[in-house]
């Protein structure tokens, strides 16, 4: 019976999501279910019964008059475009998870790249001269940045193979959309936990500096620098967790938003943000990479690595404000 339900959903996927169409869909579904039950009662095996039902009720054009959809079928149907299979979806979700981790790790390295220079500036290690320590610190800075840029590029290349999801009209069938929805629901708790831990780490990152700032300690210079370095590490881990969670969550939203609005298939997308302004939509597509670039530019110009991280939580707030004021969420 599940096969019949999926077939029914796919039959109506491209039709307008109107009360009339939904009523016709329910009527046809009941007719198919009654026929299936009748065939099973006659001793037909499940596969045979499904085949007979689909062959008898599977042509919507022939049933249009009976269902009162003649004028709807006479209009041009909404094209569903390229169909994304369940295997494609699984591969895409895996790729997004890997991309989120790589991007998050890259941002972590960008935030913490100055830790070596900070520690080297007080040269606390015996046997290492000030110049040697600074050389090590500068080397760490450029190595961290080089690896981070490499991670960003590699992540971008991996995701390029899925660029057709933005450039082409695509759709997923009912069974696949239910799979995505279940995966999304299963990840909801994990996402909330990662976001919560990330925010907590960012908030408490200032504790070491604040506490040590009001305490009298020996070798205060090194201790304060070490506390500031620890703050950057906490912030880096927190931001990385937030990026990993948000990237994976966005992958589910994109898949659920593939089916066109205003169609029966599109009515299953309840979470994707759509922007009425094309300009705003274009800006939001490059929003996160732009924020990262601004962070790097600001940091390299000022070398105020201990404060430039603030651009990421501020950017998250700005994104939410834009979504609230310029975006519209599907409600089915």
Enclosing H/E stretch for 329: strand 327-329
Enclosing H/E stretch for 274: strand 273-275
Cα-based distances in Å from 141 to 58, 135, 234: 64, 10, 17
Per-residue pLDDT of the chain (332 residues; tens, 9 = 90+): 666 676 666 666 666 666 776 777 777 777 778 877 888 888 888 877 777 777 776 566 666 666 666 655 555 444 556 778 888 899 999 999 999 999 999 989 988 888 888 777 776 555 666 777 778 888 888 999 999 999 988 988 888 888 888 777 777 776 787 788 889 889 988 888 998 898 888 888 878 777 766 665 555 667 777 788 888 888 889 889 988 988 898 888 888 877 654 444 444 444 456 566 667 766 776 677 677 767 766 766 676 766 877 888 888 888 877 877 776 654 44
pTM passes above 0.85: no
DSSP code of 263? B
Q: Quote the distance between the C-alpha of residue 109 and its chain's center.
A: 21
DSSP for 217-255? -TTHHHHHHHHHHHHHHHHHHHHHHHHHHHHHHHHHHHH
User: How many Cβ atoms are within 10 Å of 9's Cβ, its own excluded?
Assistant: 19
Locate all alpha helices (DSSP H) within the chain, ordered by sequence: 2-12, 19-41, 46-57, 60-67, 70-74, 86-112, 115-120, 130-160, 164-167, 174-204, 207-213, 220-256, 278-285, 287-302, 305-308, 311-326
* Spatial separation of the C-alpha atoms in residues 242 and 197, rounded to whole Å: 8
Q: Quote the distance between the C-alpha of residue 161 and its chain's center.
A: 16
Using CB atoms within 10 Å of the CB of residue 99, give its burial: 0 to 12 exposed, 13 to 18 middle, 19+ buried: buried
The residue behind tokens 């110049």 is 131
Q: What is the pLDDT of residue 179?
A: 84
* Spatial separation of the C-alpha atoms in residues 170 and 78, rounded to whole Å: 12
Q: What is the pLDDT of residue 264?
A: 45
DSSP code of 78? P
Residue-level length of the chain: 332
Q: Are 239 and 309 in contact (CB under 8 A)?
A: yes
How crowded is the C-beta side of 233, counted as CA atoms within 13 Å?
12
* Spatial separation of the C-alpha atoms in residues 137 and 308, rounded to whole Å: 19
Interior angle at CA 152, CA 151 and CA 154, nearest 5 = 65
């Amino acid at each position: 019976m599940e096969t019949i339900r999926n077939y029914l959903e796919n039959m109506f996927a491209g039709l307008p999501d109107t009360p009339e169409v939904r009523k016709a869909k329910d009527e046809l579904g009941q007719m198919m279910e009654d026929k299936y039950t009748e065939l099973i009662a006659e001793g037909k095996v499940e596969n045979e019964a499904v085949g007979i039902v689909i062959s008898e009720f599977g042509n919507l054009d022939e049933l249009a008059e009976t269902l009162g959809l003649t004028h709807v079928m006479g209009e041009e149907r909404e094209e569903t475009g390229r169909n994304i299979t369940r295997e494609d979806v699984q591969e895409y979700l895996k790729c997004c998870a890997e991309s989120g981790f790589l991007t998050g790790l890259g941002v972590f390295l960008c935030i913490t790249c100055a830790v070596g220079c900070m520690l080297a500036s007080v040269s606390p290690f015996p046997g290492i001269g000030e110049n040697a320590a600074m050389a090590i610190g500068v080397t760490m800075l450029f190595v961290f940045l080089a690896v981070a840029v490499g991670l960003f590029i590699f992540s971008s290349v991996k995701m390029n193979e899925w660029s057709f999801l933005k450039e082409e009209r695509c759709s997923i069938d009912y069974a696949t959309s239910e799979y995505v929805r279940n995966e999304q629901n299963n990840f909801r708790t994990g996402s909330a936990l990662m976001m919560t831990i990330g925010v907590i780490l960012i908030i408490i990152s200032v504790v070491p500096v604040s506490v040590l700032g009001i305490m009298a300690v020996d070798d205060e210079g090194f201790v304060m620098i070490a506390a500031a370095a620890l703050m950057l590490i906490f912030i880096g881990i927190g931001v990385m967790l937030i990026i990993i969670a948000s990237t994976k969550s966005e992958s589910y939203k994109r898949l659920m938003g593939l089916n066109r609005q205003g169609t029966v298939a599109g009515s299953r997308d309840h979470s994707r943000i759509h922007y009425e302004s094309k300009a705003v939509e274009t800006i939001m597509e490059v929003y996160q990479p732009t924020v990262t670039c601004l962070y790097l530019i600001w940091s390299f110009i000022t070398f105020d690595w201990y404060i430039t991280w603030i651009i990421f939580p501020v950017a998250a707030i700005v994104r939410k404000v834009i979504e609230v004021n310029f975006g519209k969420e599907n409600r089915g």
